[in-house]
Structure 1
Amino acid sequence: MAIDQSDIRSSASYSTVRKSASEGRAQNKRTAFLCHSHLDADLAKGLQGYLHRNGWEVYIDWEDATMPERPERRTAEKIQAKIRDLEMFFFLATQNSMGSRWCPWEIGYADGVKSLDRILVIPTRDARGVTHGNEYLEIYRHLDKASTGGIGSFDAAGKGIRLSGNQTL
């Protein structure tokens, strides 16, 4: 199942900016790197806001003032370090991220340095009703609404682990 992009956007006002994993960990929050297309900034902020309300600190690379202004080798090195340092890796699956040059590279890197239970795909459905996420993403757990409320992490068979409280997207 996919999460409606309009539902994700509605949480953007709850978004915050965190620069380090240690800030989130110091507050006993779970941390995640958000892989997304920069063309989906509104969705990234919405997902960050929603997850923040549910006890997460979500890192978005373009909020990080230490990132180089233009992509270069240091950009890749900083992204790699964040992926390793943060607890989870989230892949926001949209038409833009599926066509991105960076997003497949980031999930490939995460696959090599994180256990599979630390990688979550967030499949989305756009306003036309089209669901986004290639078939290769199905090897990873996905984030979705839990039948008991809140959100959960589910495998391809639908077996899940609840990740948040009673709020829903």
Structure 2
Amino acid sequence: MKRILESGRFSNYMNQTRLDSATTEISKSYYPRTTVFISHKHDDLKDLSGFIGFLEEKYNVKTYIDSRDSSMPRVTSGKTASKIKTRIRQCDKFILLATNSAVESKWCNWELGYGDSQKFDNNDIAILPLKKADMTDSAYKGNEYMQIYPYIAYYEGFELYTNGNHVPKGYYVVTDDEKGNCTIEPLENWLNR
């Protein structure tokens, strides 16, 4: 299993048009598909663009990113925070694109905290741990987040369930417990429930 994915993993899905089309309208009456609020550091736009493309193309969800919301104030203010809180509540799911720079960002941490308060109890929050290709897993700064929040990982297809059956190759939302055990759910199922 790849617990911490590498930057560029979703580059085949990268497309500026997708990034530009991240919606500002997320109400169910307007858009009936699953909506995902993606918290991210603005320096990570290449990985963000690929991840948006991946989610939209593979799983038919609609993503929301605040940097493409034309209703956001030009200068960050309390109004910005209020609008972000509303968008997090309106979206079905919350994912933090958890790069090292996002883990260190006060805004991403604030969004994660608010997302936690709105989405954790219903298991509608996850992080996507993403590191630079030349970085070791131990140098990744979000390891402690992976002990608290469900995270998106990739299974190679040779791992086994506790019953001895193979875990099919693909992306899963993994939840670790305090005893070192984990439960997994296919990303597709998690996004569409």
Q: TM-score, normalised by structure 1?
A: 0.87
| Structure 2 SS opposite 1:65 | coil
Unaligned 5+ residue runs, structure 1?
none
Name the stretch that deviates more: 80-89 or 127-136.
Answer: 127-136
From 172, 175, 184, the counterpart of 1:152: 172
Deviations along 1:61-98, one digit per CA (max 9) or x if unpaired, are: 11111111111111000100011110111011111101
Per the alignment, residue 124 of structure 1 pairs with 130
1:55–1:164 contact (8 Å) kept in structure 2: no
Match of 2:152 among 135, 140, 143: 143
1:58-97 alignment, distance < 5 Å: 58-97=63-102
Number of equivalent positions: 164
RMSD (Å) for aligned C-alpha atoms: 2.1
CA shift at 1:102, angstroms?
0.3
- 5+ residue gaps, structure 2, are 158-167
Which position in structure 1 is the counterpart of 2:60?
55
The structure with the larger Rg is 2
Contact 2:25–2:31 (Cα < 8 Å) also in 1: no
CA distance in 2, matches of 1:97, 1:65: 22
Given that 1:44 and 1:60 are in contact with CA atoms closer than 8 Å, whether structure 2 keeps it comes out as no
Q: Which residue of 2 aligns with 1:115?
A: 120
The offset of 1:26, in angstroms, is: 5.3
Which 4+ residue blocks in structure 1 deviate beyond 6 angstroms? none
CA deviation after TM superposition for structure 1 residue 145, in Å = 2.0
